[in-house]
Amino acid sequence: MAVRSTRLKRVIGAVTAATLVAFVAACGGGDSDDSSAGGDVTLEFAQWWGAELPAGELDKIVNDFTTQNPNIKIKLISAPYASTKQQLVTGAASKTLPDVVGLDGAWVNDFAKQGAIADMSKLMTDANYDSSQLASQIQLEGKTYMIPVVNFVYPLFVNKDLLTKAGVAKTPSTRTEFLDAAKKITATGSDVKGWALPLDTAVPNGIQNDVMSWLWASGGSMLADGKPALQTAAVKSTVEYVKSLNDAGVIAPGSLTMKEQDKVEKFTQGQVGMMIDSLAHVTLIKKNKPDLKFEIAAIPAEDSYTGKRGIPYASWGVGISNSTKHKAEAFKFVSYLMSQETNAKLATLANGFTGNKNAEPDFSNSDPLFKEAFEIYKQSTPANEFVGLPKSEDLMRSFDEQLQLVLTGKTSVDDALAKSQESWASVIG
């Protein structure tokens, strides 16, 4: 009996040891080759698009690719935007990025400097790819690191009912008209305000979408020769204008910790009359409040400005991991996403605009607002100076903190811009 129990112990011990060896081997086995038998290649494609497209649509697009290229398999890794970002930040740090990655322009500089994403200019040359069909490319020192696949613009949304109630006949197209309309809308009721300004510092993209958009709309720039230029007359007039809106009491309360989704919610509920927002939210607004009457317009410019207006945009970009062993196959997949037919299909599904110049989204089944937005887009210059900057979120946050001080009367516009200039210069100076 004693002998049997000793044997049993030994067997258990051996099994435990074997399990451990297997476990450790499994832990250390992350570097295995992606190729399977028969020369097939499996590419991992991490993005947040799948979470934002109608369910299953991205799978269909990918399946069409694998049907055309039976030796390449695509494994989709879809997660919401914030999770994808964190996953890619850690993946870039540990050189374990998936083969093909969805990118936001704001991440490109950091990833490229880490050597985590590949120089696509070289891949394009190797594949004899005609890059003239691309609407834009995000470059760093002359090398392309990201190709925008679908672009989303940020026009001005206006609640028509509130505007009519306030006695404003014309959608504002200049800063003075906007201030006037915002004041009149605010005067219509105690719970209604003219504009919403989300300045939450956790996700400080309100600086890009809701503040700098005023600057870009009037043809201004926050950079000069790639260096920060925040103490210019154009930037000063933008911040002073935002301050004048705040002083006039037309901004919805709680803006210092307001998030983008709060802004959309307040507009949807008719608590604010105007906002600058992504066109991608049209479907959401209509779903939540089908009877809301609203229209979109170009962002108001300075009264004297007559040039082409800049319109902020965000992109679903695509890049290739520098550590993948299958760069050629990965680029084949990227060029499929950028092909006229696929790109138009993706843009139509996402309610965005195409990254391929020759592709045009199909508006036949979509909201007429998209066609209108496409016209605004064509007449404007896509502008987003944060794209390609290093630590862009941090730049937005430091500007955000200074703007909050201005709006709470704790500092002057000049001092805030001087401080922002100083902190930006330490990053991109």
Partner 1 sequence: MTLLASKAAPPVEQAAPARKTLARRLVPYGYLSPTIVLIVVLMVVPIVMVISYSFRDNVIVQENSVFAGFANYTKVLTDPDFLVAMKNTAIFITVSMVAHLVLGLAFAMMLNTQLLSGVTKAIFRIVYILPWLFTIAVIAVIWRLLLDPSGVINYVLHSLGLINQSVNWLGDPGMALWAVTFINIWSGYPFFMISLLAGLQGIPNDLYEAAAVDGTNWFQRFVHVTLPQLRPVIISMAVLDLIWTSQQFALIWMTTGGGPLNTTEMLSTYTYKQAFSEYEFSTASAAAVIVLLLTMVLAFFYVRQQRER
Site residues (vs partner 1, CB under 8 A): 9-10, 12-13, 16-17, 19-20, 23-24, 27, 86, 89, 93-94, 110, 113-115, 191, 199-203, 252-258, 262, 271, 391, 393-394, 397, 401, 404-405, 408, 410
Strand-pair category, 193-195 with 138-140: unpaired
Q: How far is the CB of 404 from partner 1 (least distance, A)?
A: 5
Q: Which is nearer to partner 1, 30 or 38 (CB)?
A: 30
Find out whether 277 and 167 touch, Cβ atoms under 8 Å: no
Q: Which is nearer to partner 1, 113 or 371 (CB)?
A: 113
Candidates 205, 202, 208, 206; CA nearest to 222 is 208
Candidates 165, 120, 156; CA nearest to 139 is 120
Q: Which is nearer to partner 1, 114 or 366 (CB)?
A: 114
Q: Which is nearer to partner 1, 191 or 341 (CB)?
A: 191
- 355 φ, ψ to 5°? -90, -15
Q: Which is nearer to partner 1, 219 or 254 (CB)?
A: 254
**Bridge partner residues of 146 (DSSP):** 138
Q: Which is nearer to partner 1, 84 or 136 (CB)?
A: 84
**Bridge partner residues of 301 (DSSP):** 174
Candidates 391, 104, 157, 193; CA nearest to 289 is 157
Among all chains, which residue has been given the structure tokens 């083969």? Answer: 99
Q: How far is the CB of 427 from partner 1 (least distance, A)?
A: 9
Q: How far is the CB of 96 from partner 1 (least distance, A)?
A: 12
Based on the number of CB atoms within 10 Å of its own CB, is 227 exposed (0-12), middle (13-18) or buried (19 or more)?
Answer: exposed
Q: Which is nearer to partner 1, 200 or 329 (CB)?
A: 200
Find out whether 47 and 316 touch, Cβ atoms under 8 Å: yes
Q: How far is the CB of 253 from partner 1 (least distance, A)?
A: 4
Q: Which is nearer to partner 1, 131 or 257 (CB)?
A: 257
- Read off the tokens for 49: 């698009």
Q: How far is the CB of 408 from partner 1 (least distance, A)?
A: 7
CA distance 116 to 96: 9
Q: How far is the CB of 85 from partner 1 (least distance, A)?
A: 8
Q: How far is the CB of 426 from partner 1 (least distance, A)?
A: 11
Q: Would you call 379 helix, strand, or coil by DSSP?
A: helix
Q: How far is the CB of 42 from partner 1 (least distance, A)?
A: 27
- Read off the tokens for 360: 């045009």
Q: Which is nearer to partner 1, 221 or 271 (CB)?
A: 271
CA distance 33 to 148: 29
Q: Which is nearer to partner 1, 237 or 255 (CB)?
A: 255
Q: How far is the CB of 11 from partner 1 (least distance, A)?
A: 11
Find out whether 195 and 250 touch, Cβ atoms under 8 Å: yes
Task: List Cβ neighbours of 121 (8 Å cut-off, separation of 6 or more).
Answer: 139, 142, 143, 144
Find out whether 223 and 229 touch, Cβ atoms under 8 Å: yes
Helix (H) or strand (E) holding 228: strand 227-228
Task: List Cβ neighbours of 93 (8 Å cut-off, separation of 6 or more).
Answer: 114, 116
Q: How far is the CB of 125 from partner 1 (least distance, A)?
A: 26
- Read off the tokens for 43: 């590419």
Candidates 208, 138, 146; CA nearest to 384 is 208
